[in-house]
Amino acid sequence: MTVVTLLAFAGLCLLLSVTPGPDTFLVLRISLQSAGAGLAAALGSALASLVWAALVGVGLAAVLEDSAEVFRWLKIAGGLYLLYLGISSLIRARRTTGSPAAGHAPRRSYSRRTGFGAGAFSTLLNPKVGLFYLAVVPQFIPHGGNTLDTAMVLGAIESAIGFLYLAAVAVAAAKAMAWLQRPRVSSWLERGSSGIIAALGLGVLASSTSS
C-alpha cells in the first residue's frame, strides 16, 4: 500500500468516527458519571474494532457478507443490546432523580471494567462498524498480499483514530463536568443520551426486520 492509499483510508476512518453513533453516545453518557470509565469505554471500543479486522483477515467476514440471515441476526443482537443500554440507563436516571440524594451529583455506577466491557460489546455488535469492515477494508487489501497482516494494519489505523476521537469526547465531557454535574443538567443529559441509544437500538431492530 502507498502512503496516499493509507491517507485515504485514514480519512474514511475519521469520517466513520465523527459520524454520531452508539459508541459516541455511550462514551459520552459513561463519561458524565466517570471520566476514567469513559476513557475505558473508548479503549474497549477501539480494541473491539480489531476483532472485526481479524474477521476480515481470516475470511470469516466473507461468511457474514454472503449470509444475509447471519448478518441480520447480528444486527438484531446489536439492536437489542443498544435498547437494553438505553432503557436501563433511563431507569437508573429516573431513580437517581427521584431519590433523596437527587440534589447531589449522580453516583458513579460505571467502573473502568464495566465501561470497557460496554464499549467493547457496543462495537462488536455495531452494524455500522461491521459494514465498514465488510465493505471498505477489503478494498484496501492488495491482491496477492498477506490478507491478515494487511487487515490488522488497517484495523490498527481505524482503532487508533476511533480511540482518539472517543477519548476526546470523554475528556471534553470531563472538562465540562462542573457544569454537567448540576442535578438538572446531568439528569437531562443522562436521559437524552440514554434515549438516543435506545432509539438507535430500535432503528437497528426495525432495519433488520424489514430487510
| pLDDT tens column, 168-178 | 988 888 777 65
Q: Which three cell numbers stand for residue 104?
A: 447531589
Residue 87 confidence (pLDDT) above 60: yes
Look up the pTM and report it: 0.66
Q: Which three cell numbers stand for residue 19?
A: 459520524
Cα(211)–Cα(200) distance, rounded to whole angstroms?
17
Q: Which three cell numbers stand for residue 14?
A: 475519521
105-154: pLDDT as tens digits: 444 467 889 989 999 988 888 777 877 787 777 778 776 667 788 889 99
Residue type, 99: S
Q: Indicate the SS3 state at residue 2.
A: coil
User: Given CA atoms 15, 18, 208, 79 in this order, what sign does their dihedral have?
Assistant: positive
Q: Which three cell numbers stand for residue 116?
A: 470497557
Q: How far is CA 35 from CA 18, 105, 179, in A?
A: 20, 14, 14
